[in-house]
Amino acid sequence: ATDQEGDPFTYSLTNLTAYSNEFVINNITGLITVNTITAANVLYTRRLDRETRPSFQLLITATETSTLR
C-alpha cells in the first residue's frame, strides 16, 4: 500500500493501553483499517487508507517480541 505521494504507507501501533490491534483489509473496497480493542473492551476503528490497485502487499513489522502475535 502506498501513501498519496506513492511512498510506502507506514502506520505505527503504539497504544500501550490496547488489549489488541489488528489490521483489516476489505478485499472488495480496498479500505485498510486498524481495529483496536482496549483493556476496557472498547473497540476503536481507524481508517488508514484506501488502496485502489488490483494487487498490493501489506508488510507488517513487529518490533515488540515479548507479546504473542
- 13 class by beta-carbon count within 10 Å (0-12 exposed, 13-18 middle, 19+ buried): middle
pLDDT for res 48: 72
Where are the strands (E) in the chain, listed by range? 18-25, 31-38, 43-50
Residue type, 10: T
Q: How far apart are CA 65 and CA 48, in angstroms?
A: 24
For residue range 3-53, list pLDDT tens digits in order: 667 776 666 666 556 677 777 877 777 777 888 888 788 888 877 766 665
pLDDT at 68 over 60: no
The 8-class DSSP code of residue 9 comes to P
Query: Where do the structural domains in the chain lie, given as residue ranges?
Result: 1-52
Local structure of 8: helix, strand or coil: strand
